[in-house]
Chain A
Amino acid sequence: MATNWQDLAKARHMDIPKEQIEVLTPTLAALESAFRPLVGALPGETPSTIIFRAGDPRP
């Protein structure tokens, strides 16, 4: 289901003007529709590329 960006901004108390969200909606919708299928095909065991290390990894 497509995101309702106006409702989202309102629920998160964002100070983005309504007219601005109207302008951005087609771009965000296009991004979402391109991105969602990629996530749908993502294998569950895929790690993130952001790596956190507790210690210094230098050899």
Chain B
Amino acid sequence: MTILEGARQIRDRSISSIQLTENALSAISEQNPKINAFISVFADAARDRARQLDSELAQGRNRGFLHGIPVALKDLFHMKGVATTGGSKLFSGQIAGHDSAVTERLEAAGAIIIGKTNLHEMAYGVTSSNPHFGPVRNPHALDRIPGGSSGGSGAAIAAGIVPMAMGTDTGGSIRIPAAYCGTAGIKPTYGLVSRYGCLPLGLTLDHMGPLGRTVRDCAITLNVLAGYDPRDPHSDYRPAEDYFPEAKVDIRELRIGWPENYYFDSVEPEIRSSVEKARDAAAGLGARIVPVRVPDIKALNTVSRLILLAEASAVLEPYLHQRDQFGPDVMALLDQGRLLAATDYVNAQRLRGLYQQQFRDLFEHVDCLFTPTVPIGAPRIGQKTVVIDGVEEDTRLASTRFVRAINVLGLPAISIPCGRSSEGLPASLQIVGGPFAERMLLRAGAALEDEMGLIPIQPAK
């Protein structure tokens, strides 16, 4: 069920919040042993809150689309009175003394936070094969990763447990699991959603956003989350917009940039043809396809990696002497970050501005870019490398090479499913826009979703 369907049924009293909550809890009991999407589940608290929200509704108070809808939080967001593990044993005993801004806003909007989702350790990786809490498994193929770092959130939605789960995205961590799990997911513009109360990783790269069953579910959530927060120094003052796409979206004015370089150089053929089908569907709806040459994404990925390595190691420095508390992949990244020179970090931040200008110039000519979100279908758990066009590539670098650059630019990007491979694995389209172009991205995404349909939910068997 989507948020929109749930909200309609709650409004017309054909279902209650407590029923939706019981359904979600049953789905967790049945499926979580197979997919390991949740680190913690708040069954009693969720039931209490559902009853309270049902009672509010009976008294005529409806808080909006999220009223009484069960959702999940990546276990990186603080929730008062509950541990925020960050997917690490280091933080397992640390009980949050306050809510994150995201938690506050979701609860104020009537959402029921049913549990906290598993993730890649410290949100620093793409597999969500967590050494402390076990690997998250992709509902579409249990031997495959769900992507990461917000892997539990993607898996929980793909399995039909919740219609929306929060993610964070420092180098693709919302869009990658959305792509591998066949859900929608949006990384908003830097500063649109408050980062207050979320464990940091990349101090100038972290973004908060929803993964959703549908594009409209993401829009509903973004309507609740967007807005200035003085507790986050990076928060933007821009007044909030209504991001919810209309019922029949007209994209005839849309100018879609179709990259002639980089993004299709090394992509699995089935992913490429799925993204081309999405392009053709957009053209069929009247959008204009404009071939473009994109700035040097490889260089941007280098800049992004360097900034993240330095920032993550700085953030986690107080814990780095406890080497046995980190998984080997995360420890290797943290060691790399410690070895970098401060001058390189500063120069990476200066380079960032140059590329930002190049992208501003690009978005003078087009409204958005269409690219694959990832060049491959979900890799197998434990698979360290992938082979594309006969070339072997590190799984993490392959998974991040189309998404990471967008974080360093702070631009909004949405990932939506656009097909399935012959193995049944989802393929996804990434749509990237200029700063604060979320409304356009969500409208374009909704138009395509309406045209191409959803990937069916896949309860884990």
Interface residues of A (CB under 8 A from B): 5, 8-9, 14-16, 20-21, 23-24, 27-28, 31, 34-35, 38-39, 42-43, 46-50, 58-59
Tell me which residues from 267 to 326 in chain B have a Cβ below 8 Å from any Cβ of chain A.
Answer: 298-299, 302-303, 305-306, 309, 320-321, 323
Contacts of B237 in A (CB 8 A): 58-59
**Residues of A contacting B346 in the complex (Cβ-Cβ under 8 angstroms):** 48
Interface residues on B, range: 20 to 34
B204 touches A50 (CB 8 A): yes
B323 contacts A49, C-beta separation under 8 Å: no
Bound-state CA distance A9–B356 (Å) is 34
B343, closest chain A residue (CB): A39
A38 with B353: CB separation less than 8 A? no
- Select from chain B the residue with minimum beta-carbon distance to A37: B299
- Pairwise interchain contact B335-A31, C-beta atoms closer than 8 A: no
Q: What 5 A-B pairs come out closest when comparing CB atoms?
A: A34-B302, A46-B350, A49-B352, A48-B349, A49-B353
6 contacts between A and B (CB under 8 A): A14-B338, A20-B335, A28-B339, A34-B298, A47-B350, A47-B353
Interface contact A8-B339, CB-CB below 8 Å:
yes
Q: Total number of A-B contacts with CB less than 8 angstroms?
A: 69
Q: Nearest Cβ distance between residue A19 and chain B, in whole angstroms?
A: 11
In the bound complex, do residue A50 and residue B349 qualify as a contact, i.e. CB atoms below 8 Å apart?
A: yes
Q: 8 Å CB contacts to A: which residues of B346-361? A: 346-354, 356
User: How far does the alpha carbon of A23 sit from the alpha carbon of B299 in the complex, in Å?
Assistant: 24
Closest to B203 in A: A50
Q: Which residues of A contact B306 (CB under 8 A)?
A: 31, 35
As a 0/1 sequence over residues 389 to 430 of chain B, the CB contacts with chain A under 8 angstroms (1 = contact) are 000000000000000000000000000000000000000000
| Cβ contact within 8 Å between B352 and A23 | no
Give the Cβ gap from A36 to chain B, nearest Cβ, in Å.
Answer: 9
| Smallest CB gap from A59: residue in B | B237
Residue of B nearest to A5 (CB): B339
- Chain B proximity of A20: nearest CB distance (Å): 6
Q: Say whether, besides A48-B346, A48-B353, A38 and B323 are in contact (CB < 8 Å).
A: no
Q: Which residues of B contact A24 (CB under 8 A)?
A: 332, 335-336, 339
CB-contact partner of B348 in A5, A8, A35, under 8 A: A35
Chain A nearest CB, measured from B321 CB (Å): 7
Determine if B351 and A20 form an interchain contact, defined as CB atoms under 8 angstroms apart.
Answer: no
- Provided the pairs A15-B323, A38-B302 are in contact, do residues A27 and B336 lie with their beta carbons within 8 angstroms? yes
Q: Are A46 and B339 in contact (CB under 8 A)?
A: no
Beyond A16-B338, A34-B299, A39-B344, 7 extra complex contacts between A and B, CB < 8 Å = A15-B321, A16-B339, A28-B336, A31-B309, A46-B351, A49-B204, A58-B237
Which residues of chain B are near A21, meaning CB under 8 Å? 335, 339
User: Complex formed: what's the CA distance from A14 to B317 in Å?
Assistant: 12
What's the minimum C-beta distance from A57 to chain B, rounded to whole angstroms?
Answer: 8
